[in-house]
Structure 1
């Protein structure tokens, strides 16, 4: 579902402010057994759900044979009057061929304890099947009913801010034994009821799942069990996390204090980061648990997915800090994502591309967009042509499904002004009419656009562990930027230069040899093994671009006592021991030619001394002028670039352009720049598909320099070295001969 308005966030704040004292948890030993990452049950789940299983392979084979899916979320139970038949007719007219239902309606399905009502599900399943529209069933566990909250108040999570109160969604402890019992029961009851219905093509487990900050006594005890299993002894914990500081040393497992208090991020980021990792493991295990239950009933031709969301800065922004997406995706047949973004004059396509690249990389295959806006917030109502531009942008990154949240605007809820494809009057509108053109084109071109395969030479190496650690220490230097604020400028710069990218997870022993250039933003916490692997990648001929604060601490967020940047200094050919917050600092002599206003350094600067590196830029400052800001070093067969400061967008683009050129990755596509965006891949017929997007309100002419082909939307031939006309917010799709 969508992000709530500030009003809901305010209510949540009030709930926390007047929270009750935590209740004593029941049967914590059972919770510990459920949560231990190394438990036999978890290992069995992983074994059962691994991507190479026969069932998953069958699902993948089935999906390869399907058409593009174009759909909406649909909630019959929210409707103010009877209109199901009319909705189906309007959906068919728009070319909608799939709907997602049921993930929001536990209280409708189970109005009282063990009292069941499947009438809304049945009505929609039967109506959609009659209309030839496929259905995805969601498990309704992300918001639980009032009777369950009353019967078991301990289901409401205790967080670092206190006890949650009932009202908001996603306010529960997903490890709680009572929640698990009732969640499993509602899932099984729904699955038993719907499993044989011919309209169903797949299932979504939960919704934008996270641990929701759950940190009650039961979770704390489970965390201690996790720590015992991982570190074996308290001496190892004390040493790894530096707990002698402020007498935080733990000398008896029974004395292990709550992570909510003494060990918050400002006091011991090491233990805080480990607890965050543990909470992400809770999410991974929870989704695997749900997927396993669903697969007991699902047919081999039906998929299981989940709608992951991204970090939220008023819209989808970057790496989600609360979910280990690559680990959680292992339990799924298809990775799914929710992508929301600004439109109108600030539509860039960056969020569509980033969310798509990340989700495609989770399982190295095509993915589903399970939610994106049709109208969305009032400020997001799309200009003419923008809905089409957005739709084909999702396909260009490898999406096989595009679903809007949602079909109809809701008349009384927190999301009343998050508008669907239809407005509150349920009548056709310009956005709906534009969607009709998308549906027709998806149906007509499905066999040419589905299952697009992409091969990229560039990857962004990210790390949830580095993200947690970097964000935890932002108070230490008064930084306004988060981890994603460091990552995004580099991704954005490459996107605008039409460089295709994958994401690799730095915590998963990533395979790097498939790439020629790797971007490493703020790798603040990392193991020796990963840093040595990056050194070897450069030595073997690869190119790496590092930002500041990389290699600074180990995987336990303990700052290394060696020369910084630790370990990677070998490949980077530099060292530093001091850093500061710049005041009126720029780069000497404007080395990248960006002009005075763009040549400034913001937020952070490391005082770098080159050893073997070539200096690309020195600081311009009376005291810091002898120190390097940006360096480049030949190491073995490859090249390592290190950016020791927070640069402006213009500087970042120039640095990346230099890196691309030296990696021999400046190709024909790079002759085009934003607002012209081009993406490509190979379709299931083995032909190259090239998308051209105009992300501006001004018509553009593009010199088409690729192979002869056919423009699919107009069905017109196009020859190499001819002009391609793109209308405002327009799109062209070429299938090469």
Structure 2
């Protein structure tokens, strides 16, 4: 791209009165150069079957064109009109446990339903016909935060059986064995008599069905992309706004979509990211989103939705909107777009506030957007297309996530609390982030993670044998592996290994184990890690063979007490952490491992100072110094350069003060 895109979603259809010219004037004042439209208003464009009215779309495109503002068109397929359900009630999704959905909520359709697909294709084509030829339309967003929505209707069940037949080469006995169907008399006698998957208690079958549902998303997005591609020019992109697990904000790996596979349908990666604010703003979610989305197409990406004012608990402090915008760019984003421009006056999201509140007047958040937009006008050429080269990768797996949902890790003796895959992923990522160890988040299915100097692998509970073999080769060839508990337990069908744990990696890690527990009040005893650490509810009893012991369980009442080990294997080294520890302890453990075992050059600074680097289009190193605290922080400039925001020259070794919730951006001389 030639410039940073800065903008918002804009809904002329939702306005209580005509204010398009006024909105555009306010956008231009704020330096906004792009809007995203059309993705949620199918029923407005097709009030009756076959009667189309795209006047609001054309009106906005043409007004934005006159103002010099670019437009991204969203296909409006994620919220279906009520008349479509009257035509065919089976358009509504049928889910496990709740049956057929009732009309009213968005994203409640069956993405495999033929009636839905027929009418969705028609609205897409009609929209493309009236919008694609405008030169200020720069790209298309297919659907919106797409998932399978738990679809498990009859046609999906039939499709799943066909998928299994292909997976097992039509050998039903091989499938019975792989899934352990002898247990509780679950054996399937024929493909024709395959039972409804919604009733299964078999984790292997349940996890495989969830994998199949993720594949449905891949197919659906490719189907939409193929339609859009028929109309799109070569200079127009196709994207999707991938989101993440939701726990009141964007939390971690998306359970319902494999981003790495689904992104094959698009030409540029896009994402939606919502995060804590005020005193809870850490930048962690922004960074996780960036480090993951950046790897989907191995280049820069678009933030298609993020918060402006958001809900009341997202209302930013002074300067936080500015800090957030630059945090996205520091991770390699080429666009920052808010959901949304104006606050909606009725319906479900009335209090998910945009840049403008319900009175449309200027407010402090909007005024900070004015600061960002006008700085980007001046600095865009130096900040766009930031290229990052990281030596550390965090390996993630949708299949491990699903398996640990079926077999959660109990962390209290009364089984009242469990540890999820994303809890573990976030814990390890948070430690890396806080230590300013920049990393890429890569898929276990990727073919290039062997190129990293250090590979961090949290709880890879399941994987095919070839993945374990690749990990072994990675270490043997000189790689440095940091692996956590609950790794290499089962194969791709969630069958726990009978050959011992860790499966296929006992020689690499120099250990095995066959017992584990969920204790309370357990700590680590070690001379290697300062102050040991507090075990939080889960531990494995490691039995080293060739591995060196780094930590043990203190005052252990069990026979075995080894907690953390390091092993030399071939040219490389593997560290195994056999327990879940508290946040502070994990950060200290990882810091010590990277410094002493991996000889990694750590940053001088830790959270709340976050340091992110990359090279711009001029080949110059750009360093972002981000302060996620309400106090002024001081750092020492590592090299001479230009403070881009303030235009001042900085000398190597110069002491720099970063105000609360602020950022300094240095470009090397």
Structures share fold, TM-score greater than 0.5 = yes
Question: For structure 2, which runs of at least 5 residues remain unmatched after alignment?
Answer: none
In 2, the alpha carbon distance for the partners of 1:141 and 1:80 equals: 24
Name the CA distance, whole Å, in 2 between partners of 1:510 and 1:648.
33
Counterpart CA distance in 2 for 1:628 and 1:526 is 25
> Is 1:487 matched with 2:425?
yes
User: With structure 2 as the length reference, what TM-score do the two structures score?
Assistant: 0.97
**Where does residue 354 of structure 2 map in the other structure?**
420
Q: CA deviation at 1:603?
A: 2.2
Corresponding position of 2:494:
557
Contact 1:504 1:510 in 2 (8 A): no
1:592 Cα offset (Å):
2.2
- After superposition, the C-alpha distances for 1:528-558 in whole angstroms (9 at most, x for unaligned) are 1111111111111111111111000001100
CA deviation map 1:685-711 (0-9, x unaligned): 111000101110101111112x21111
Once the two structures are TM-superposed, the CA of residue 363 in structure 1 deviates from its matched residue by 1.1
In the TM superposition, residue 183 of structure 1 has moved relative to its aligned partner by 0.4
Describe how 1:524-603 pairs up with structure 2 within 5 A.
Answer: 524-588=461-525, 592-594=529-531, 599-603=533-537
- What is the root-mean-square deviation in Å for CA atoms of aligned residues? 1.3
Q: Say which SS state the counterpart of residue 193 (structure 1) adopts.
A: helix
Question: Is the contact between residue 594 and residue 650 of structure 1 (CA under 8 Å) also seen in structure 2?
Answer: no
Name the CA distance, whole Å, in 1 between partners of 2:652 and 2:131.
53
1:22-421 maps to which residues of 2 (within 5 A)? 63=1, 66-161=2-97, 162-231=99-168, 232-261=170-199, 263=200, 267-421=201-355
Cα distance change, pair 665–429 in 1 and its aligned pair in 2 (3 A): farther
- Measure, in 2, the Cα distance between the counterparts of 1:100 and 1:615: 55
Q: Distance in 1 between matches of 2:250 and 2:633?
A: 28
Separation in 2 of the partners of 1:489 and 1:269? 25
The answer as to whether partners of 1:280 and 1:322 remain within 8 angstroms in 2 is yes
Alpha-carbon deviations, 1:205-262, whole Å to 9, x = none?
000000000001110001111111111210110011110111100111111011101x
User: Does residue 710 in structure 1 map to residue 642 in structure 2?
Assistant: yes
Q: What is the aligned counterpart of 2:616 among 662, 680, 683? A: 683
- Tell me, what secondary structure is at the counterpart of 2:594? helix
- Please give the per-residue CA displacement for 1:467-515, whole angstroms capped at 9, x wherever unaligned: 1001111177745211000011110011111111101211x24322321
The change in CA–CA distance for 1:729 and 1:509 in structure 2 (over 3 A counts) is: closer
Aligned residue pairs total 663
CA distance in 2, matches of 1:494, 1:602: 19
**What TM-score do you get using the length of structure 1 for normalisation?**
0.89
Separation in structure 2 between the aligned mates of residue 663 and residue 527 of structure 1, nearest angstrom:
28
Deviations 1:88-110 (CA, angstroms, capped at 9, x unpaired): 11000000000000000000010
Q: How far apart in 2 are the matches of 1:499 and 1:541?
A: 20
Closer/same/farther in 2, CA of residues 259 and 94 from structure 1, 3 Å limit: same
Contact 1:517/1:663, CA 8 A, preserved across alignment: no
With 169-178 and 478-487 compared, the bigger mean Cα shift is at 478-487
What is the rounded CA distance, in whole Å, between the counterparts of 1:201 and 1:658 in structure 2?
A: 48
The secondary structure found in structure 2 opposite 1:165 is coil
Q: CA deviation at 1:446?
A: 0.7
Q: Indicate the residue corresponding to 1:40 in structure 2.
A: none
Q: Which residue in the other structure is 2:579 paired with?
A: 645
Q: Following the alignment from structure 1 to structure 2, what is the Cα–Cα distance between the partners of residues 397 and 182?
A: 39
**Alignment partner of 2:634 out of 675, 685, 701:** 701
Q: For 1:427, what is the secondary structure of its paired residue?
A: coil
- In the alignment, is the contact (CA less than 8 A) between 2:58 and 2:130 conserved in 1? no
State which of 418, 439, 450 in structure 2 corresponds to 1:501.
Answer: 439
How far the C-alpha of 1:663 sits from its partner, in A, is: 5.5
Aligned residue for 1:720, secondary structure, equals coil
Is the alpha carbon distance of 1:572 and 1:715 closer, same or farther for their aligned partners in structure 2, counting shifts above 3 Å? same
Structure-2 separation of matches of 1:362 and 1:609: 38
- Give the Cα separation in 1 of the matches to 2:181 and 2:342: 54
| Counterpart secondary structure, 2:104 | coil
Change (3 A) 1:539 1:589: closer
Separation in 1 of the partners of 2:331 and 2:320? 17
**Secondary structure of the residue that 2:493 maps to in structure 1?**
coil
